[in-house]
Structure 1
Amino acid sequence: MFSIIQAAGWPIWPIILASIIAVGIIGERLWSLRIDKVSPRDLLPKVLQEFRRTGARTEMFTRLQEHSPLGSVLAAGLKNIDSSREVMKESIEEAGRVVVHELERYLTTLGTIASLSPLMGLFGTLIGMIDIFGAGTPTGSDPVQLAHGISVALYNAAFGILVAIPSMIFYRHFRAKVDALVLEMELQALKLVEVVHGERRV
């Protein structure tokens, strides 16, 4: 592997750095965007059960905010339980915007890497082409420099595409995952509002 990096020349290093960042983001988002961590399905029934038993208390709000993103949204609604349905929904929407921002963390960076990696590979290709054209001498072409230029051009193009493809796949996957999680949290929060205001039982 190190011999390939040497053959690819210095333009490969930004692509390697981008790949390391992309792998880190992908691993972190795979861990953070699990449904049982973001929007546990059993949380709302437990919250409603506790609310009916003891009412809305400050310690419940604190525990919910520390529990999960869905917990933060539900806590925002319960804090305004004595207000109108509209005020309760507005507080939930405000908390939801903060949660969505947290769920989308690093996704812009991952999308940028997916877009820029082929361009960095193309830049390396151009550097290789410059080396190839510079291989000409008055007595003919320098085969060593010619081979080096070809290696730089091909390896950088290949590595750029290799980094871009999984980065784009995971970027789109995470975007869809965030949208699904946000929809799930909206449904849970709406159910909380309707139950609290007596518009539905469960």
Structure 2
Amino acid sequence: MFEIVSSGGVVMIFLLLLMALAMMIVAERFWSLRNQEIIPKKLAPDVLKWSRKKQLDENHIDKLAENSPLGYLMATALKQRHRQRTEIIESVEDAGRHVSHQLEKPLNWLQAIAEVAPLLGLLGTVIGMMKVFANIMEFGVGDANQLAGGISQALTTTAAGLIVAIPAVLFYRYFKNRIADQTIVMEQQVMQLIDNLAPADKP
């Protein structure tokens, strides 16, 4: 394994760093995007109970906003509950864009890795081929070992760049779809809250 890595030259070091960073991002997103962290099951029913029992003081709402992304959206709706329904929905939509941005922010790094890794692999390929032609000029085509070193570096970095980029792209798309699905669920639950606000809470 060490021989394979060392044959890739300096470019391989950067590719390994990108691979490590991608793995950390993927692990962090798997943990942070769990449903119990984004859309806790008991949160919506509890908030509906608070609404019906008039337990909507500022302390409750502030704690709700810190609970989870779903809690933040519900708190936004409750803070605007004395306004017109359209105004409440507009406020929730603005908050929803903020939540989506925060959830997707780490994915920008994963997308960047997916784009940069193949370019680094290509750079390694170019460097390897440059070595091949330099060796041909110096030693001719008869020294197979000299030629093999440059070709090995070219092929190794190309493969490594793809090995890093392909999983990064797949995980990026997976997390994007997961966030989109969770956003839809959050929207549905917040709309249910808005529709079930106690009559006294509505204008």
> Which residue number corresponds to residue 85 of structure 2?
85
Aligned pairs for 1:22-37 (under 5 A) are 22-37=22-37
Q: What residue in structure 2 maps to residue 110 of structure 1? A: 110
* Bigger relative contact order (CA 8 A; separation at least 6): 2
Cα distance in 1, alignment partners of residues 106 and 82 from structure 2? 37
CA distance in 2 between counterparts of 1:129 and 1:165 reads: 24
Show the counterpart of 1:163. 164
**Which sections of structure 1, spanning at least 5 residues, go unmatched?**
none
Q: Give the corresponding residue for 1:127.
A: 127
> Mean alpha-carbon deviation: is it higher for 105-114 or for 178-187?
105-114
Q: Are residue 48 (structure 1) and residue 48 (structure 2) matched?
A: yes
8 Å contact kept, 1:65–1:72: yes
Shift of 1:20: 1.3
Matches within 5 A, 1:1-202: 1-137=1-137, 140-141=140-141, 142-196=143-197
Verify the 8 A CA contact 1:85 1:197 in the aligned structure 2.
no
**Cα distance in structure 1, aligned partners of 2:65 and 2:160:** 43
- 1:68-118 residue CA offsets vs partner (Å, 9 max, x unmatched): 000000001111111111121122112111111111021122112112212
Asked whether the equivalents of residues 135 and 143 of structure 1 are also in contact (C-alpha less than 8 Å), the reply is no
The structure with the largest helix share of the pair is 2
The TM-score normalised by the length of structure 2 is 0.91
Between the aligned partners of 2:138 and 2:105, the Cα distance in structure 1 is: 56
The letter for the 1-side match of 2:46 is K
Q: Measure, in 1, the Cα distance between the counterparts of 2:124 and 2:39.
A: 44
Deviation, structure 1 residue 139: 5.4
TM-score, normalisation: structure 1: 0.92
Task: Give the gaps of 5 or more residues in structure 2.
Answer: none
Alignment RMSD: 1.6
2: CA distance between counterparts of 1:189 and 1:106? 25
- Seen in structure 2, the aligned counterparts of structure 1 residues 96 and 151 have a Cα distance that, compared at 3 Å, is same
- Provide the C-alpha distance between the structure 2 equivalents of 1:139 and 1:31, rounded to a whole number of angstroms: 55
Q: CA, structure 1 residues 136+81, in 2 after alignment: closer, same or farther (shift >3 Å)?
A: same
**Contact 2:51–2:197 at 8 Å: present in 1 too?**
no
Cα contact 2:74–2:193 (8 A) shared by 1: yes
The size of the alignment, in residue pairs, is: 198
